[in-house]
Structure 1
Amino acid sequence: MNENHAVPAAPPGIRRGQRIALALLMVSGIVNYLDRGTLAVASSAIRADLGLSLSQMGLLLSAFSWSYALCQFPVGGLVDRIGPRRLLGVGLIVWSIAQAAGGMVSTFGWFIVARIVLGIGEAPQFPSAARVVSNWFPLRARGTPTGIFNAASPLGTALAPLLLSVLVASFDWRLAFVATGALGLVVAVVWFALYRDPARAQLSVAERGYLDADAQTAAAAPKLTFADWRSLFSHGTTWGMLIGFFGSVYLNWVYLTWLPGYLTMERHMSLIRTGFAASVPFLCGFVGSLVAGWLSDFVTRRSRSPVVSRRNAVVVAMLGMVAFTIPAALVQSNTVALACISVVIFLANAASACSWALATAAEPRRIARRDPEFWRFHRRCTRADPDGRHRAEVVVRAGAADGRGDRVRRCDGLPAAGAQADSRAGGQRRARTAAGLSVAATPRIY
């Protein structure tokens, strides 16, 4: 029997703290993705100025991914130790300095160093945001705020080509890096000035009671051992979600990093026109993330099995990504191609938001509390193409008459395989036990 679990109304002081927290997370997330997107928007100008090949551009993109991925595990512990306010504030300062430094380099090697430091600085963004949401919002009302701060990534990605293409075309690619770095430092000052963790905020007794009542419903997270983490890989559900994440994230990252370059090199658009055209699909992704956040809360309150409902949503979204990527590569019309890409990115961001909820619902409770670091590590490794050649070839040759269909189908099969793996993994009916951790059984859906 389905139940509609009502969430108690938050007191005024809590609502104010929630609004400030979400607004600051949105702003910092947008700046985060503006900084990431600068390299993609300015790629043609950077290649011409520094004499870089497509493979070297792929290495620059991957350098960020590897450092970002490797920092996920220590960042998860740091957010517990020092809190999200200090961790995200310091991260903002570090990544903003690294971003500005990227606009001052003159060699490929120093550019790699700047990108590595950028990845280190940006690593605390989502762990800190998740902790802020868990600190300020009750358990059953976290889907919507999670969708909101997660929506900062497609919104920032949409604004990057729109704003930065004007800077690059009117002035210089270096100014784009320096300007976004300076903006990040301003946001860091505002973050430290306005945000407070609930423990240090000026709340009334009733307001603290509201937060404490929700905290009492969750058991304290025990210390995790290596055996606990190892047991995670003994379950088919984990491997299914790994493959599913791999397929959806890979295709999403292809668009995120190479779409501006693809529109310029293969669709022969000017830099300014590319800026406007590339922003449209990511605005659709912004909407997809918001819709998925609301849908996650809606389904959780009404479904008998959050695992099955969320898994099915992810599978449908990934199959949709496959269906619309193929025509995007085959059609001659730029308008139709962009429309198809917009649908793909809408579905990719919807799948991403639902995937976080699926991971926490399907995994052992003790590990689910800390497991986001593991999934962020896997997602970032998925995006870190070791030499950049594969993604460069997929995108640049996608429009070629002799390789368009084959290249895109090779890339397109990844989310299809991921959808199939997600469906099979979620279909394990039995409850397995390892190291004393129980995994919820989920029925098979044919």
Structure 2
Amino acid sequence: MDQQKPTRGRLGVAFVVLLVSIVMFADRNLFPVIASPLMKAMDISPAMIGWLFSTFSIVYVVCQIPGGLLLDKLGSRTTITACFVGLGIINLFQGVATTFDGVLVVIGLFIFRALVAFMETPAIPSFTRVITTWFPLREKGLAITATGSSQYIAAVGFVPFFAWYAGAINYQSLFILIGILEIIAAFAFYRLTPQPAQHPWVNKAELDYIREGGALVDIDKKQPENKKKKGLGNSKQVKAFLTNRITIGVFLSQYCFNCLSFFFLSWFPMYLMTERGIDIKATGLLVAIPAFCAFLGSILAGASSDFLMRKTNSLNIARKMPIIVGMICSFSIIFCNYVDSIYLVIAFMSISYFGKGCSTLGWVILSDVAPKEIIGSAGGIFNAFGNVSTIVTPIVIGYIVTLTGSFTWALVFVSAHAVLALFSYIVIVGPLKRIEAKPDDEAVLVKQTASSGK
């Protein structure tokens, strides 16, 4: 009887992925929160902080392809476990190192930021891979959306705590706390996420259900040698993908989305503390408000896209409309330059970050338009290109703040990216459709000749 009713072990695994992902994004949120007291303690400029932010992004982008190769070789479970153990150890060292001062400590911070980026590189693809392993197609969208919201949940849940702790105690021991949490998360993930066929939470009925529904339950199994030759995909498909106007527009928009995102993840806490004179404890609470709005934007964008697809059966309307509305909302960040009330500042920031949350549909659009043969490769290129913005944005804003002494032009810079993303989807992208390479006439002729026996 037990085998006739499917268990719901996949929901438990998704919850584990969500919790571990929240821990990772809590790590990412830590450095921006303590950037201001760190800057004062180490006597370094905003430009130097910008380079510290950018160091993470540079390594993160460069390691995208090696991280993917590592993931393919080791599998999701082993990769995440190793990466989180590494993150924990690095943060323990950071906690000790920041109790000192001097040039060597600043140099050490650059090294630590690079190592953290290296360890985090395979994380998001690994989480997506786990969901793909466990969830049938009819449930995968919601599962990815829910686990993908971890970046906003982390900001809401951890940033206020980090800010309070740094102000009431010290910021150095926060590295140690997050390091311990990451090591615990590593072992929990390894213990609770074996393959579906070996998982104690899963019965045969559930295994059959997710396998028949399209879940890749055997994705981490060793493949026969004769099946390993098609991994990267056809070079003609790659060329067709990279030269298509849809790709150019979507890539440009993703670059702009990440500019908006990185401002909130890196510079927003410092903006409140230095530009608006908010103390670090209050900053933690205020930062959580726009983050919660971004969470709502992400969920509502996915739900509205599905609704529009059912009602109109139009990929253009269903996918583009939430992003267009979102980018119009994101432009509201510029109005912070014209108000003095902190309440209005948070209101405009919340509207802007809500709009940024809608941009999560960019990954859905990529899966809609990339050639079927190279969806994995297309995703890696897409992620690397988009994250170039996280290299440029912190450096540019750092120098703007250093040279002008305020964030006024920094907000202009960020809002311009919302306009550029809007322009890209309205003008450049064009009708959404699956990109396919044109047939190779010579290859077709050779094939026809061979089949005719000539």
- TM-score surpassing 0.5? yes
Do the aligned partners of 2:305 and 2:318 also contact (CA within 8 Å) in 1? Answer: no
Is 1:385 the equivalent of 2:392?
yes
Report the structure number with the largest CA radius of gyration.
2
> For residues 84 and 27 of structure 1, do their structure 2 counterparts lie closer, same or farther at Cα, with a shift above 3 Å needed?
same
Alignment match of 2:280 (pick from 262, 271, 274): 271
Do the aligned partners of 2:167 and 2:281 also contact (CA within 8 Å) in 1? Answer: yes
Aligned residue pairs total: 419
* Offset, 1:255: 1.7
The amino acid of 2:327's aligned partner reads M
Residue aligning to 2:375 = 368
Q: What RMSD over aligned residues (CA atoms) do the two structures have, in Å?
A: 2.7
The amino acid of 2:156's aligned partner reads A
Alignment match of 1:260 (pick from 246, 252, 269): 269
Do the aligned partners of 2:35 and 2:270 also contact (CA within 8 Å) in 1? Answer: yes
Distance 2:27 2:120 in 1: 9
Residue aligning to 1:427 = 430
Is 1:348 the equivalent of 2:356?
yes
> For residues 283 and 272 of structure 1, do their structure 2 counterparts lie closer, same or farther at Cα, with a shift above 3 Å needed?
same
> For residues 168 and 426 of structure 1, do their structure 2 counterparts lie closer, same or farther at Cα, with a shift above 3 Å needed?
same
The amino acid of 1:209's aligned partner reads D
Alignment match of 2:28 (pick from 15, 20, 36): 36
Distance 1:436 1:118 in 2: 44
Alignment match of 2:65 (pick from 73, 82, 91): 73
* Offset, 1:216: 8.6
Do the aligned partners of 1:394 and 1:411 also contact (CA within 8 Å) in 2? Answer: no
- Normalised by the length of structure 2, the TM-score is 0.85
Deviations 1:390-432 (A, max 9, x none): 11255678995xx83x543333111211111122233248986
Residue aligning to 1:93 = 85
Do the aligned partners of 1:34 and 1:157 also contact (CA within 8 Å) in 2? Answer: yes
Q: Is the partner of 2:167 in helix, strand or coil?
A: helix
Do the aligned partners of 2:134 and 2:210 also contact (CA within 8 Å) in 1? Answer: yes
Structure 1: segments with no counterpart, 5+ residues: 1-9, 438-446
The amino acid of 1:27's aligned partner reads L
The amino acid of 1:169's aligned partner reads G
> For residues 84 and 419 of structure 1, do their structure 2 counterparts lie closer, same or farther at Cα, with a shift above 3 Å needed?
same
Alignment match of 1:53 (pick from 16, 27, 45): 45
Residue aligning to 2:445 = none
Deviates more, 1:197-206 or 1:82-91: 197-206
Matches within 5 A, 1:11-26: 12-13=6-7, 15=8, 17-26=9-18
Matches within 5 A, 1:28-427: 28-105=20-97, 106=100, 107-202=105-200, 203-215=202-214, 222-223=230-231, 224-322=233-331, 324-352=332-360, 354-385=361-392, 388-394=394-400, 400=406, 404=408, 406-427=409-430
Among the aligned pairs, what percent are the same residue? 21
* Offset, 1:301: 4.7
Deviates more, 1:360-369 or 1:391-400: 391-400
Structure 2: segments with no counterpart, 5+ residues: 218-226, 441-454
- Normalised by the length of structure 1, the TM-score is 0.86
Distance 1:344 1:171 in 2: 32
Deviations 1:164-192 (A, max 9, x none): 11221122211111111111111112111
Q: Is the partner of 1:196 in helix, strand or coil?
A: coil
> For residues 325 and 394 of structure 1, do their structure 2 counterparts lie closer, same or farther at Cα, with a shift above 3 Å needed?
farther
Do the aligned partners of 1:329 and 1:399 also contact (CA within 8 Å) in 2? Answer: no
Do the aligned partners of 1:236 and 1:428 also contact (CA within 8 Å) in 2? Answer: no
Distance 1:48 1:96 in 2: 26
Do the aligned partners of 1:25 and 1:129 also contact (CA within 8 Å) in 2? Answer: yes
